[in-house]
Structure 1
Amino acid sequence: MKKILIVVLAFTFIASMALAEKKEAVEGVWKPKKPITIIVPWAAGGSTDQSTRVTAGELEGPLGQKIVIVNQPGASGSVGTKSCLDAPRDGYTWTAGAVKDLGTYKVQGLLDTTLDDWHLFLNVAMAQVVAVNVNTPYKTFDDLLKAFKEKPGQITVATAGVNSAGHTAIELIKKYAGIEYKHVTYDGGNPAVIACVAGETEVVTQLSVEEVDMLRAGKLRALAVLTEKPLELKDYGTIPPITKWIPDFKVAPIYFGIFVPKGVPDEVISTLGNLWDTVIKKSQKIKDFASERGAVFDPSWGDEAYRKAFPMVQIDAWLKYDAGQAVINPEEIGIPRP
């Protein structure tokens, strides 16, 4: 009798567990059973690293699991992104960064992937800031433009490498202003900023999030922001828009976020989408991060995220194509000229 009771209880337990798992799958709820890894394909301290860590911290509680950030820089973000693509599609490995990078890897021949391979979960938008070492003679963006033209190819500019936001910024300036510059690359936005502060370069064109500490500390001088409106940076002041000097300069927001490769279980995406709607879009911590670091709080996911981020993908892809830095025509992978 005792053995029969044990068997009955065992079958009851198994049946209840199966029903619970079935209910979880039907409702699209994902409850991870182990820590999640986010591969940040840039160096620690940069824009992707900063925004990802804040966002991951907001997701750990609702998911009930630790999220481990692994920095794997290299080849303009493509090395770490490939590691995510190569990982098992079980939902436990994500990557992060700027959508414009993800959307242009294939154009440049860096990585065989397009936006169609990914689920996008965005947190903030950021703008590039043209800043100079405070010991340089450049007081305004006009001063710098004159120097570029008087000394073509001699003014040193630090960026996080080809495909980085900083490289896109100086290439856009080159396109619209007809200047030449000397490109000095680093393994991330933060190293590029530090290099400019140390005097290794005269100029840095990385994102506001990466430059803000050195601007406030008086180690860098901001000359222009690549937007149509001024950037009000807390505890620093107003940075004028580049359109003050180049009125026809075309800009679009650079959106950042977390990217999950397609092919993971559907409940992973539905759960993350729900968390974006109920947690991330209401996150005071991410709002405070954006306000403090000169970014724009604008979370979205799915089709909405794609629509918001795609304009900068177009600008960057065609900028590279027109400059001879692309290996294929962007139209071949569904990126029409803006």
Structure 2
Amino acid sequence: MNFTKSIVAAATVMALFGATSASAEWKPDRPINIIVPWSAGGSTDQVTRVVAPLLAEALGTDIVVVNQPGASGSIGTKAALDAPRDGYTWTANAIANNATYAITGLVKDTSIDDYHIYLHVANVPVVSVNVDSKYKDFAELLADFKTGDVTVGTAGVNSSGGMALAAIKEAAGGSDFSARMITYDGGNPAVIAAASGEVVATTQLAVEQTEMIKAGRLRALAVLSDTDLIVAGMDPVPPITNYLPDMPIAADYFGVFIPVGAPAEVYETVDKIWKEQIMNSKELQDYASARGAVFSPSYGDAAYKKAMPVVIAEACARVARKEAVIDPSTLGIECPAH
């Protein structure tokens, strides 16, 4: 489906929902599961555990966060898609993952159109090394990325850390880039591996690293952004564009996603809660400020439009890296010619 047409279609469906059942309110009669397809303690798990109690209170039911890691988040994602479409099984992730699993063949026959989208924060990867490492700035590490045997801990090729490492490789020239990715079941174990010296570096998200950086166990060298990362209790982290000025940057949005096919009142009710409570949540704002995330909630058509730049960037990057098993154009994503 063409994404422009999808946005129009989504808006039309939402309008129809409002016209036919504007007064409907969903009152769940049992707990809701949110499948986090990564291990506990990582970026998706952290922010989901901030949002879940707010949703639970508003809905009047328990919300259970279920960690189901494996295969770069695709196992838990498929479990959510395979569950009954009754509104009681949701998932959480970076939106670029859910939108590109089919392109890499990890989850077949799926796209961003399989979900009603509720975004909450944007996250940024940070390149960090063990505090006892010889590397004092990113330029030194980048030199050894190209010529040495540097190990980098990530949560897998489809994780934010894995995609960040691939983006650095592409921006740095690629062919003489010899850093080796070591994969873990989630961002938290990947960060711990770097902090313990099991791997040289990590490219996981700031929210997964800030506590280790503040505790003096990791040294942050660069943030995948075009501006400094400012977090209370930490020195500013310089932007990677200081070293790779032509590196493209797209905000990496995270959220909660409800598979399509549930009764209309499920989405109407969650839309209302998102608008009135999540988009004004002090708890979520405090989390973002403390951990180095960007507080940026949205839902529905606005979330869809906000997500598309990173979805397109990641889909097309997979083509450039020869990781795609299907053409993104079959999902309505047109990549620029190289």
Is TM-score (shorter-chain normalized) higher than 0.5? yes
Once the two structures are superposed, residues 252-279 of structure 1 have per-residue CA deviations (whole angstroms, 9 ceiling, x without a partner) of 1110010000001000001100111100
Detail structure 1 runs of 4+ shifted over 4 Å in the superposition.
Answer: none
1:116 aligns with 2:113: yes
Q: How far apart, in 1, do the equivalents of 2:147 and 2:273 lie?
A: 53
What is the distance in 2 between the residues matched to 1:25 and 1:277?
Answer: 18
Q: Amino acid of the residue matched to residue 286 of structure 1?
A: L
**Mapping 1:317-332, distance limit 5 Å:** 317-332=315-330
Aligned partner (choices 298, 310, 316) of residue 308 of structure 2: 310
Corresponding position of 1:146: 143
What is the one-letter code of the residue matched to 2:40? Answer: A
Aligned to 1:20: none
Helix, strand or coil at the partner of 1:27: coil
In the TM superposition, what whole-angstrom CA distance separates every residue of 1:22-62 from its partner, at most 9, and x where no partner exists?
A: xx965121111111110110000000001001011111111
* Partner Cα separation in structure 2 for residue 25 and residue 53 of structure 1: 31
- Output the CA distance in 1 between the equivalents of 2:243 and 2:135: 15
Q: Distance in 2 between matches of 1:28 and 1:337?
A: 41
- Unaligned 5+ segments in structure 2 are 1-19
Could you tell me which of 54, 64, 76 is aligned with 2:72?
Answer: 76
2:279 is aligned with 1:284: no
Output one character per residue of 1:263-312: Cα deviation in whole Å (capped at 9) or x when no partner.
01000001100111100011000000000110000000011111111111
How far apart, in 2, do the equivalents of 1:312 and 1:25 lie?
33
Please name the residue that 1:37 is paired with.
33
* Corresponding residue of 2:99: 103
Per-residue deviation, residues 81-129 of structure 1 (Å, max 9, x unmatched):
1111111111011000100100110000000210011110011000000
Task: Name the counterpart of 1:66.
Answer: 62
Task: Look up the match of 2:159.
Answer: 164
1:155 paired with 2:155, answer no
How many residue pairs align between the two structures? 313
Structure 2: how far apart are the matches of 1:135 and 1:314? 38
Secondary structure of residue in 2 paired with 1:311 = helix
Correspondence list, 1:223-238, <5 A:
223-238=221-236
Q: 2:230 is paired with a residue of what secondary structure?
A: strand
Secondary structure at the residue paired with 2:178? coil
Check the 8 A contact 2:147/2:178 in 1, yes or no: no
Structure-1 residue corresponding to 2:47: 51
Q: CA RMSD in A?
A: 1.2
Deviations 1:139-158 (A, max 9, x none): 0011111112232xx11011
Aligned to 1:258: 256
In structure 1, give the amino acid aligned to 2:41.
G
1:242 aligns with 2:237: no
Gaps of 5+ in 1: 1-23
> Which secondary structure does the structure 2 equivalent of 1:233 belong to?
coil
Provide the TM-score with structure 1 as the length reference: 0.91
CA distance in structure 1 between the aligned counterparts of 2:324 and 2:129, rounded to whole angstroms? 29
Letter in 1 for 2:163: T
Distance 1:313 1:177 in 2: 22
Q: 2:334 & 2:237 partners in 1: Cα distance?
A: 32
